[in-house]
Structure 1
Amino acid sequence: MPRTMHAAVVTAFKQPLVLREWEVPRPGPGQILVKTEACGVCHTDLHAANGDWPLKPDPPFIPGHEAIGIVVALGAGVTVVKEGDRVGVPWLYSACGHCEYCLSAWETVCDHAEFGGYTRNGGFAEYVLADPNYVAHIPEGLGPQEAAPLICAGITTYKGIKETDARPGEWIAISGCGGLGHLAIQYAKAMGLMVCGVDIDDGKLAHATSLGADLVINASTHDPAEVLGQETGGGAHGVLITAPSLPAFKQGVAMTRKRGTCVLVGLPPGSFPLEIFNLVAGCITVRGSFVGTRKDMAECLDFAARGKVRADIELQPLSAINTIFERLETGDVPSRVVLDFAGPVPESITSRANANADSGLGADADSATKPAAVLA
């Protein structure tokens, strides 16, 4: 086992990530160490690095919550995984396991939940600690690069579709057809739904059509609620808003037909108004959905293992992370970017680590918030 690893670190909010050498963490009791093969890049990572949300992580920390890798070491008492297993280290890093939410299979809203790449160091590193009780078990035949986006974007959209309560043969509108939306379209079609894709990018809408969308609407040139109402006879039975855009939230509620359900999974900062009369008179439900449970994870990965869903991915090295974040800021990422750890580590990582080694920051085995010494 090497003594150091390469990692991309948030040292301050709204600043470029710093590429460093950090100490390889050691698994304590009830923990495992995973050698990262691939890690997806999610818009949530950008929110984390910018400190956008009310509950903020504490720099320095390592983002990344779509890490796939091989278990290389076990802490004392671990029995549910073994060395050599391929697992995913997802957003839901762990939960208490005994509160009312955990006991009713809603561990994602546990008050004591920990989150990968947020309250715990994540997968923008060559090694990552994990809780074996909450890792994703990657099915045979599903490669690490393919699986990476599914353990966040995949489970988030799959669970969101379930939360709309739309039934086979009914209409679902997917607002935002990019990184999350292109997966949502595939899951929805595999679940027997009629799909309308809504976006402001004609390229993404063309891609939505190629993935099986039955109707697409450009929200910059047409009123989605009006068009969808005409085409479906009243609007969508379910609406899933994946776009991190406040106007999309207002449009999404308007696209929902009477007695339908609009599910929010995008997380832009801020708030948006609801038209109370239409909501009440139409018996419309507006519901938040936050990733998914371990059962949802197994189900969403099974769809992919059976060839029903496939993420469109762009492979990049860890050294490109700041460029990737810049592209996410401007919407210049058509689908999903995956950091590929299989190739050689560019010299730029080590040189930048040495150049920035004066800050005294490092990796901690148990938390994303405790500094240690830089190893350069």
Structure 2
Amino acid sequence: MSVLPNFTIPKTQTVALVEKSGGTVAIKNDWPVTQQNQLKPGECLVKIQATGCCHTDLHAALGDWPLKAKSPLIGGHEGVGIIVAIGDNTISDRKVGDRVGIKWLADSCLNCEQCRNGREQNCPDAKLSGFTVDGTFSEYCVSFCNHVSPIPEGFSSAEAASILCAGVTVYRAIKYSQTQHGDWIVLPGAGGGLGHLAVQYAKVRGLRVIAIDSGEEKKKLCLDLGADAWIDFKETKDIVAAVKAATGGEGAHSAIVTTAHPSGYTQAVDYLRGGGTLMAVGLPGEAKLEASIFFTVFKSISILGSYVGNRQDAYEALDIAARGQVKVHYVCKRLPELKATYEGLKEGTVAGRVVFDLEQQ
């Protein structure tokens, strides 16, 4: 039996539960904790220290995606904590006492064509934290040894949390954006949870950044993080012209659309230069991708979907952040504030990231 020495797993815990799709968040203080003898081979029990909040968690709660989450649901997929138990007959490098991260991709088979090609997130048997399996808005979370990510020593759990989804998602998108050092990249939604990390990962890559968002707080954040140009979409009458002006008239080489609003996609083909790449990242519920087919072809535009990241992407994104090259701008809150946080996400008023401290419940 593998349990952290001198540690007793409690019988109950505090969780944030959405009892039915589209319902409100309820804080439950008597939710059962999975015991070691209930863990299956390959599973681990993680005592959560901190967990980030992602726009995807809001979509899961609202049930407004084409894919529907399990119900009832404990959301959350940016959790950092300590492995306190591992299922019997588990073969893994992970061990009790390890500090690890739980990501959106909770598990995959590792043996299908998608997994073998490094697209583990597209595995037909993928399990998704806080969506198809219960997630990290809880004091204890069952996850999978093959997919939890080791957290570098000295990197705080609260900061590491947001790298596990927001960070790895934009890191992979930039990695595959077909850009070179010195290229221009446009980031609609740059002041948000994903966007402010995208600004930094883009600068690490040597790219020139055009940040698109709205409001003085987000403007200051983006410029402080190194954005080369700022466009307020509420104040700018012609975003396409503004992007072209910032890039000397030719347009940007790439755009990473992290906003969950479909308008972020609409003009990207128009402001990209010939041979440019549109990386589709944000996930509006039912919206369609509208772009001029004529100019997509005429300008040799590439449109690529980029969906979270694989295990190696997570290692790389965490390493860059742990070395101080990317900083998560976040505020710490307590789990009962999740409902209010969802309201802020709906209204687009959350700058940076919200992280819940599970050690102060």
TM-score normalised by the shorter chain: which range applies?
over 0.9
**1:203 Cα deviation from its structure 2 partner:** 2.3
Aligned to 2:19: 11
1:272 aligns with 2:286: no
Alpha-carbon distance in structure 1 between the residues aligned to 2:252 and 2:310: 26
Q: Which residue of 2 aligns with 1:144?
A: 157
Q: CA RMSD in A?
A: 1.1
Deviations 1:159-201 (A, max 9, x none): 1111211111111111112111100000000111111101122
Contact 2:269/2:295 (8 A) holds in 1: no
For residue 231 of structure 1, what is the aligned residue in structure 2? 246
| Residue 111 (str. 1) matches residue 120 (str. 2) | no
Asked whether 1:123 is paired with 2:136, we answer: yes
| 2:84 is aligned with 1:72 | yes
Structure 1 counterpart of 2:185: 172
Structure 1 residues 69-105: Cα deviation after superposition (integer angstroms, max 9, x where no partner): 0000011224311111100110000112111110111
The answer to whether the 8 A contact 1:181-1:242 is kept is: yes
1:245 equivalenced with 2:253 (yes/no): no
**What is the aligned length?**
344
What amino acid maps onto 1:150 in structure 2?
Answer: I
39, 44, 59: which one aligns with 2:51: 39
- Segment drifting more, 183-192 vs 7-16: 7-16
TM-score (norm 2): 0.93
The CA distance in 2 between the partners of 1:320 and 1:164, in whole Å, is 36
CA distance in 2 between counterparts of 1:10 and 1:259 reads 44
Q: Distance between the aligned counterparts of 1:242 and 1:202, measured in 2?
A: 19
- 1:42-86 CA-to-partner distances (Å, cap 9, x unmatched) read 000000001111110121111000010000001122431111110
Instruction: Give the Cα separation in 1 of the matches to 2:268 and 2:129.
Output: 29
Corresponding residue to 2:195 among 181, 186, 190: 181
Within 2, Cα distance between the matches of 1:224 and 1:301?
33
Matched, 1:202 2:181: no
Specify the code of the residue in structure 2 equivalent to 1:305. Answer: A
Amino acid at match of 1:68: V
Distance 2:92 2:149 in 1: 15
Alpha-carbon separation, structure 2, partners of 1:231 and 1:143? 37
Matches for 1:1-376 after TM superposition, within 5 Å: 1-20=9-28, 21-26=30-35, 27-76=39-88, 77-177=90-190, 178-222=192-236, 223-232=238-247, 233-269=249-285, 270-343=287-360, 345=361
Deviation of 1:256 (Å): 1.5
Whole-Å Cα distance in 2 between the matches of residues 140 and 252 of structure 1? 39
Contact in 2 for aligned 1:31/1:78 (Cα 8 Å):
no
Segments of structure 2 that go 5 or more residues without pairing to the other structure are 1-8
- Percent identity between the aligned chains? 41
- TM-score, with structure 1 as normaliser: 0.90
Structure 2 residue identity aligned to 1:206: K
Q: Which runs of 5+ in 1 are unaligned?
A: 346-376
Partners of 2:65 and 2:148 lie apart in 1 by 25
Contact preservation (8 Å) 1:240, 1:263: yes
Shift of 1:117: 0.4
Distance 2:308 2:21 in 1: 24
Contact kept, 8 Å, 2:21 with 2:72, in 1: the verdict is: no
Tell me the distance in 1 between the aligned counterparts of 2:241 and 2:220.
Answer: 21
Who is 1:365 aligned against? Answer: none
Contact 2:163–2:317 under 8 Å retained in 1: yes
Please say if residues 265 and 290 of structure 2, whose CA atoms lie closer than 8 Å, have aligned partners that are also in contact: no
C-alpha offsets along residues 123-143 of structure 1, whole Å, 9 cap, x if unaligned?
Answer: 000000111101111001111
Structure 2 SS opposite 1:39? strand
Name the aligned partner's letter for residue 24 of structure 2: P
How many Å separate the matches in 2 of 1:114 and 1:124?
Answer: 17
1:19 CA displacement: 1.1
Q: Tell me the CA shift for residue 299 of structure 1.
A: 0.4
The AA in structure 2 aligned to 1:302 is D
Q: Distance in 2 between matches of 1:326 and 1:228?
A: 31
Report the CA distance between 1:284 and its aligned residue. Answer: 0.2
User: Take 2:269 and 2:193, find their aligned partners in 1: how far apart are those partners?
Assistant: 21
Matched letter for residue 316 of structure 2: E
User: Distance between the aligned counterparts of 1:213 and 1:33, measured in 2?
Assistant: 40
Deviations 1:107-162 (A, max 9, x none): 11111111000001000000001111011110011111010000000000101111
Distance in 2, Cα, partners of 1:240 & 1:134: 26
SS at match of 1:28: coil
